[in-house]
Every structure is written in structure tokens, then in C-alpha cells.
Structure 1
């Protein structure tokens, strides 16, 4: 094994589903961060797009700090409110 294999963090669960890119808005929990991203939702009545925000808790295995742009991926439920894992810091 090379030195890079030893430094890679072990994933807590099998990852599946979609990837999302967002920013860390809170890193005050022990192993979890709050990630937020913006998305556009189409309103058929007014034929316009409106901005919505999504916020999720994600398991922090790459030591992301508040303000970092990160990529997260869905996983199995790791806690009551945690179903995502931070894959990398962008």
C-alpha cells in the first residue's frame, strides 16, 4: 500500500444516489456539517423560476470547515438526520 492509500478516509457507508455541490454553513457538530445549496424551481402559473435553498446534514470525513465548497453524496441513514457524506472539498 502506498502512503496515499493510508491517508484516505474510510467511508462510513456505501454511497449511492445523487451528488450535490454546496457550501458548509455550520461545522459546530462533532462529525457532522450542515451543507446548503441553491436550486431553481419552475412555477407553471407565473412561468418563472424561483430560487429555493436546500439544507442537509452530512457526515464530515474530510474535515471540511465552515465556508468550504464541498461535494456530498447520498448514503444510507447514518443518524436521525444524517443521510449524506462529504466526499471532497472543492
Structure 2
């Protein structure tokens, strides 16, 4: 099954209905990249993105961050600090409208030393 994204299918299978690879969930819209900030919830991760915003008054940039809740299928093994790619999907709950489609880098390889 093709997602329309250039991502590899995970090796292990899962029985999650909301998995874009092994279930019936379709992806559409934006794809974002960020770092996993929290894995405390069941099947949900918080992905944190940092970006710069120009402040015209001081002619400088300031850092902002956004935290996006995303569905984490069991076939994608995630830890805090991993860099992941998430894709937009239909609303899965009150706050979740994204799903993790790929782990780009692990916490040990992608973090600062």
C-alpha cells in the first residue's frame, strides 16, 4: 500500500486500526518533522517543533515551539528524543489529527553531545 509519501514500511506488523501501514487510516495534507517530547500516553506521543519568528521591532529572531499530539502505531517503536516525521490525517480524537509515519533518527544518534 502506498501512502503517497516516501517512507519505508515498518518490519513488524500490528493490528492497530489507526495505523497508516497495517490499518485503514489514510494520510493527507502536511507532513512535519519534530522531536518526541513525551511518550506518557497510550498510543500517543507529543512531537515538539522549534522554529524562529522575526521580531521586527528589534530586528532579531526569537525561538518559538509548538507541541503536536500524534498517534503512535505499535509497529513504530518510539522513545523520548527520537526525531520523527508525522503526517496529517482525519481527526482521531479531540486533539489528535496527526500520525507518526517514520522515525528519522533515534535519540542516541540524533541528540546533541
User: Same-fold call, TM > 0.5?
Assistant: yes
RMSD, matched Cα: 2.1
Provide structure 2 residue ranges, at least 5 long, that are not aligned to the other structure.
1-8, 105-113
Partner of 1:45: 57
- Counterpart of 1:19 (choices 31, 40, 43) is 31
Partner of 1:59: 71
Residue 66 and residue 87 in structure 1: after superposition, are their counterparts in 2 closer, same or farther (change >3 A)?
same
Partner of 1:30: 42
Distance in 1 (CA, whole Å) between partners of 2:67 and 2:77 is 19
Distance in 2 (CA, whole Å) between partners of 1:23 and 1:6 is 22
1:80 is aligned to 2:80: no
TM-aligned CA deviation for residue 76 of structure 1: 1.3
Q: Report the TM-score, using the length of structure 1 for normalisation.
A: 0.82
Provide structure 1 residue ranges, at least 5 long, that are not aligned to the other structure.
none
Can you list the C-alpha shifts for 1:10-52, whole angstroms capped at 9, x where unaligned?
3152211221111111101111001101011122222221110
Q: Which portions of structure 1, spanning 4 or more consecutive aligned residues, are displaced by more than 3 angstroms? A: 4-10
Higher relative contact order (CA 8 A, sep 6+): 1
Aligned pairs, number? 87
Distance in 2 (CA, whole Å) between partners of 1:80 and 1:68 is 25
Q: Report the TM-score, using the length of structure 2 for normalisation.
A: 0.67
Which secondary structure state, in structure 1, belongs to the residue aligned with residue 101 of structure 2?
Answer: strand
